[in-house]
Amino acid sequence: MDVATAQAQPGRKTVSRGDLTRLSKLQPSRWVRDLILDWALIVGGIALYGAIDSLWALPFIALFVGSRQHALALLGHDATHRSALPSRRWNDFWGELLAAWPLFVIIDHGYRPWHFQHHRWLGTESDPELGYRKLRPYTLPVTRRKIALWFGLDMIGLGIPDLIRFQHAVFPDRPWRHWGPVVWYAVFASLTIWLDCFWVFGVWTWSLLTGFWAIFRFRTWYEHVGLEQAGEEGTHRFSANPVVRFLFFPHNTHCHYEHHRWPSVPYYNLPALRELVEERPVLTTREVFVRFELCDGHIGQAQLRVG
């Protein structure tokens, strides 16, 4: 059994002003391409379920469709940072219409101020994420059994109360601002009824309530859980293989440490940004997991037993 120590290396900031300017330049076609691809995979997954026409296939389809709904959420996250399209008006319009409202989330006046507060006050009492990260699923130690248990519970719909709690936290305070997702779902449901395929609406909704939330929760464990320090050091820095990235960390969200350090950089440039940063070791997903059980809340103080 090998023993590795995750040792923080407080060092210089290796990203120059020129690097940051270059990597922060938007490429709208990348965001649009990935948006179209995610929607195509969702449509393909739902169509596959229609062809199979068996409830036995529903959990697998819900997991696949939910993974792509989660990918949409991360594209909406870039729109939240105004990193999707150059025009702020079109950035918010398309980000809401095609990435946020389908997940019953509102960017403007809702998720954006909540998320920006999370960035500003990461790991402090003012960090809004701490409200749900203090819930039972996220308290240490996070064991294999706990992850498997909550993933299974979420996949059968028992995580819906936590999903509603999260959506309530990021929803605007004023009810009249809720019209976007309400209209989107009303049109979607009406269209599927009119076309005599209401089951499509059902598969979409069940995938959102199960597969999406199970994957969302899994990603949450790998972002800040176990590292409650204030500031940028409260984010895990890790890598993941292509299959794990596709299912749980799409659109380079495994580069979450880099995102918190330099939030102006769009998701497609985060890997290039990572290559410039040497001040923190990049752990594997397995090492981060082991750290959950051993971490005492301080960077570099957990011995990771791997083997």
pLDDT in tens, 6-39: 333 444 457 888 999 999 999 999 999 999 999 9
Task: Return the pLDDT at 264.
Answer: 94
Task: Return the pLDDT at 159.
Answer: 93
pTM: 0.89
Task: Return the pLDDT at 226.
Answer: 72
* Secondary-structure percent of the chain, ordered helix, strand, coil, rounded to 5: 65, 5, 30
Q: Identify which of 127, 139, 135 has the alpha carbon closest to the alpha carbon of residue 292.
A: 139
Crossing angle of the two packed helices 213-221 and 144-155, in degrees rounded to 10:
160
Q: Identify which of 300, 271, 270, 274 has the alpha carbon closest to the alpha carbon of residue 287.
A: 300
Task: Return the pLDDT at 289.
Answer: 77
Task: Return the pLDDT at 163.
Answer: 92
What CA–CA distance (Å, rounded) separates 24 from 30? 13
Task: Return the pLDDT at 233.
Answer: 64
Q: Identify which of 24, 216, 227 has the alpha carbon closest to the alpha carbon of residue 122.
A: 227
Give me the tens of pLDDT residue by residue for the chain, a chain 307 residues long: 232 333 334 444 578 889 999 999 999 999 999 999 999 999 999 999 999 989 999 999 999 999 999 999 999 999 999 999 999 999 999 999 999 999 999 999 899 999 999 998 887 888 888 777 777 777 777 788 888 999 999 999 999 999 998 888 888 877 777 899 999 999 999 999 999 999 999 999 999 999 999 999 999 888 887 766 655 667 888 999 999 999 999 999 999 999 999 999 999 999 999 999 887 788 888 888 777 766 544 444 333 333 3
Task: Return the pLDDT at 9.
Answer: 44
Task: Return the pLDDT at 231.
Answer: 59
Task: Return the pLDDT at 296.
Answer: 45
| Three-class secondary structure of residue 290 per DSSP | helix
